[in-house]
Structure 1
């Protein structure tokens, strides 16, 4: 029933800011099209530390970044000229395509006063036909995202299709991404028609087939089974997966079906051919020292950070 359990590892984004990194993992590079997953927080940000947590402008190719907040607020700026305040319950879907740069800054007055931040960020690899499309950014409000409730269960469909629901979030391949909140004793399952499926425990503790799992664990399920997830206490899950896309290479913030394309992206960033956000262009993240070849489905994990 359970194919694999992935325990999140601590990853540093610099300046003392650590996240739980779930994907990629050495035994599981992707889950459906999802190639990267970080869980940041919950963390209380002291006012004097707020600026050090800002994520300076940096590039992406070949993927969509998906930012989803439980708490706090982040300001997104990108090279398309978009400036968007990201709030809890929204879906912020940036498709890099052939190349985009963006920043994420913590400018909310509540954050400046020492507020709390908690967010999940995933990267969704693009099908080969979409890897070189023009970059885009879309913000979807909570009212655009279907909610399902039942005894002890609250569910929001973040993206894709699941449990007979779909929404307006534009995706590029078949997938599901669901936020689930369970009361103690509640029982829940997974969509059955996707070949790759997982459940990440963001809060609480759940039981599957007599064994318990807690915060920071991604449960990857065998294709074709219909697992029953039982909440041992109040719990929050992220369900995700979909159709696999085939091998992808990942290095820093770049994803591609081609090693050569990643090398080109490195050169483009160094040469300034990927524009900076016009309203956040005074600083940027330089290309890291290249100590490894691009990693594919059997290679090394990326040296990259929260997008």
Structure 2
């Protein structure tokens, strides 16, 4: 057997009516390598003049890196380090929260022009030695990332290393994260260089070692076997994984190997000790008191 389990996305409201499909964490599979969070954004057609309620207001992170990878649409990123960056399709914006960062995600482009929002947001948990590293933000337009176009597959290595390629994105543990744009009938193979791997169908329909996945389904693969993917129709696919980094706990937007550190982050946010982005200093998301450590 090559597939450990299949995970279906579950609807989750980010607030204001922006509903995403949450894949990770899942109760029976919290992480795949260091990837601890995986949300499918859209596809969602937004008309010009959408309300600001759909924006993700300033909020904090510790202990992880974030990346929002878009197929369509545009998001305005602002953070407490002073960076403001338009996230566009195919670009990689890798934010390391480390000891603490805050950011907002605004739909300014869609508000002005309308847009079909479609993409993936992932969190990558940091290893023990990097959990308290200095926060940072790096933008990659996409032309500096390894890519290929062969036999009906246009691929990009977003982060990490796989298939003899290495991304210029700064990562803190062994991992890989790829985007495949597959034509109908095209085939590709998930690398077996890592003990934990998964493949996600974001659009279309694929065959993974004889099992059919539709849009919104992730197949977690068993170690060292399988990973043959055939597109049954034009499909958008993400492949990801890496070496496990050990137990991680979550509390809202915080990730850590220590429950005490999560409680400290919660109190820092509630007390206003975490700087907000300069352009977003007048609003933020309060800590949801119903959230508990898991």
Q: TM-score, normalised by structure 2?
A: 0.97
Q: Please give the alpha-carbon distance, in whole angstroms, between the structure 2 residues aligned to 1:163 and 1:278.
A: 41
Whether the aligned pair in 1 keeps the contact of 2:50 and 2:111 (CA below 8 Å) is no
- Could you list the per-position Cα deviations for residues 260-279 of structure 1 after superposition, in whole angstroms to 9, with x for gaps in the alignment? 00000000001111111112
Contact 1:73 1:111 in 2 (8 A): no
Aligned partner of 1:54 in structure 2 is 55
Mapped partners of 1:26, 1:209: distance in 2: 24
The DSSP-based 3-state class of the residue aligned with 1:143 is coil
Provide Cα deviations, 1:3-25, integer angstroms capped at 9, x if missing partner.
01000000011111100000000
SS at match of 2:27: coil
Partner SS for 1:279: helix
Q: Please tell me whether residue 82 in structure 1 is matched to residue 79 in structure 2.
A: no
Root-mean-square deviation (CA, aligned residues, Å) is 1.1
Deviation at 1:147, TM superposition (A): 1.0
What residue in structure 1 maps to residue 108 of structure 2? 107
C-alpha displacement at 1:142, in angstroms? 1.0
> Counterparts of 2:235 and 2:171 in 1: how far apart (Å)?
27
Aligned to 2:92: 91
Structure 1 match to 2:276: 276
1:151 and 2:155 are equivalent in the alignment: no
Q: Distance in 2 between matches of 1:201 and 1:236?
A: 6
Q: What is aligned with 2:172?
A: 172
Which residue pairs with 2:254 in the alignment? 254
Alignment correspondent of 2:44: 43
Aligned to 1:64: 65
| Aligned equivalents of 1:131, 1:9: Cα separation in 2 | 28
Shift of 1:103: 0.4
Alignment of 1:4-23 (within 5 A): 4-23=5-24
* Alpha-carbon separation, structure 1, partners of 2:77 and 2:53: 16
In structure 2, list runs of 5 or more residues that go unmatched. none
Write out aligned runs for 1:231-250 (5 A): 231-250=231-250
* CA offsets 1:134-190 (integer angstroms, 9 cap, x no match): 110111111111111211111111000011111210000000000001111111111
Q: Which moved more, 1:274-283 or 1:110-119?
A: 110-119
Residues 230 and 88 of structure 1: CA distance in aligned 2, closer, same or farther (over 3 Å): same
TM-score between both structures, scaled by the size of structure 1: 0.93
Q: 1: CA distance between counterparts of 2:116 and 2:291?
A: 35
Specify the alignment match of 1:201 in structure 2.
201
Structure 1: stretches of 5+ with no match in the other structure: 296-307
Residues matched between the structures, number: 293
SS at match of 2:280: coil
2:60·2:253 contact (CA, 8 Å) conserved in 1?
Answer: yes
Q: Report how far residue 227 of structure 1 moved.
A: 2.6
Cα distance in 2 between the residues matched to 1:152 and 1:114: 31
Query: For the Cα contact (< 8 Å) 1:205–1:232, is it kept in 2?
Result: yes
- Could you list the structure 1 runs, at least 4 aligned residues long, displaced by more than 2 angstroms after superposition: 46-50, 110-114, 208-211
Aligned to 2:119: 119
In structure 2, the partner of 1:189 is 189
Are the structure 2 counterparts of residues 210 and 119 from structure 1 closer, same or farther at C-alpha, using a change threshold of 3 Å? closer
Deviation at 1:211, TM superposition (A): 2.6
Pairing 1:18-29 to 2, within 5 Å after superposition: 18-29=19-30
Alignment partner of 1:141 is 2:111: no
